[in-house]
Structure 1
Amino acid sequence: MRKIDMIVVHCSGSRCNHRYTLEQLRHDHVVVNGWRDIGYHFYITLEGVVYPCRPVERMGAHALGYNAHSIGICYEGGLSPSGCISDTRTPAQKEAMKLLILRLHREFPDIKTILGHRDLPGMQKACPCFDATKLQPLLAS
């Protein structure tokens, strides 16, 4: 089993008023990017449904230089209806993300850090379009 000490939060970079399904995500990662599968470990839909995408035992493809020791969580959205960067998480997504992080921390007690993709050194991204470091107190639970 690999040592996991970090959760990296992502957004799909899609407009909150347009669906970006798990199938679209898989197409973009497999067909467009040429990867074997979805790079994230979990995907959270607008309704708060959490889909496992890649077994946590397998290294992700979501945060270059951090994949070996992190779990990647992606939520559907991140852009306003007009395409502006925005925290578009629905209440259901926020609750699902919270519960998922709490579960992952129970399963992997070495997790000490939650960062957004944009918070990683050298990243010039807006993803996940909110301050994911504010989720850090969940690890104190």
Structure 2
Amino acid sequence: MRKINHLIIHCSATREDRPYTVADLQNDHLSRGFHGIGYHYYIRRDGTVTNTRPIELVGAHVKGYNKHSIGICYEGGLDASGNPKDTRTPEQRSALRLLVAQLLRRFKDEVRVCGHRDLSPDLNGDGTVEPREWVKQCPCFEVGRKL
């Protein structure tokens, strides 16, 4: 089994008023040259959690962090106009909390739970990745405070 030191939360960056199925996600990732879905888990709006890549396999979700991480993506992340927004439903919030708790129990070592945007480079070198330094806004909420 791989050593896991990050659980990284993502959004699909899709509009809250449009469904984005597992098949849609797979087609998008295949069209980008991935060998299947890059995330290990996908959480639909109804709270359904799908294992989309075996956790034994390295993911394709954050450049430089894939080797020792598990990628978790939730459907949504954009409002109906296409702007970043925490669109998680109560079912998604509950499913995400439960999944993260299960993974933390399984991987007892030092595991950091964070959002994709939290792994952006610290451009000014002050030790904090600030909003103006984010490469992207994904997952559109502050993981450490609102998981």
- Relative to the length of structure 2, the TM-score reads 0.88
- The percent of aligned pairs where both chains have the same amino acid is 50
Look up the match of 2:53: 54
Query: Structure 1 residue 134 and structure 2 residue 142: aligned?
Result: no
- Greater displacement, 108-117 / 37-46: 108-117
Segments of structure 2 that go 5 or more residues without pairing to the other structure are 122-133
Q: Which amino acid aligns with 2:104?
A: H
Contact 2:4–2:111 (CA under 8 A) maintained in structure 1: no
Segments of structure 1 that go 5 or more residues without pairing to the other structure are 137-141
- Relative to the length of structure 1, the TM-score reads 0.92
Note closer, same or farther for the CA distance 1:11–1:55 as it changes in structure 2 (3 Å cut): same
Contact 2:58–2:66 (CA under 8 A) maintained in structure 1: yes
SS of structure 2 residue aligned to 1:83? coil
SS of structure 2 residue aligned to 1:9? strand
Which of structure 1's runs of 4+ aligned residues deviate more than 6 A? none
Instruction: Count residues in correspondence.
Output: 135
Distance apart, 1:121 and its partner CA? 3.0
* Equivalent-residue separation in structure 2 for 1:36 and 1:13 (angstroms): 20
Query: Structure 1 residue 125 and structure 2 residue 136: aligned?
Result: yes
Kindly provide the CA deviation profile for residues 64-97 of structure 1, in whole angstroms up to 9, marking residues without a partner as x: 1000111000000000111111000000000000
SS of structure 2 residue aligned to 1:23? helix
Matched ranges for 1:25-64 at <5 A: 25-30=25-30, 32-64=31-63
Look up the match of 1:108: 107
* Equivalent-residue separation in structure 2 for 1:5 and 1:111 (angstroms): 6
Q: Which amino acid aligns with 1:44?
A: I
Kindly provide the CA deviation profile for residues 103-125 of structure 1, in whole angstroms up to 9, marking residues without a partner as x: 11111112521111111032510
* Equivalent-residue separation in structure 2 for 1:53 and 1:26 (angstroms): 9
Note closer, same or farther for the CA distance 1:111–1:45 as it changes in structure 2 (3 Å cut): farther
Q: Which has the larger radius of gyration?
A: 2
* Equivalent-residue separation in structure 2 for 1:8 and 1:22 (angstroms): 18
Please give the root-mean-square deviation of Cα atoms over the aligned residues, in Å.
Answer: 1.2
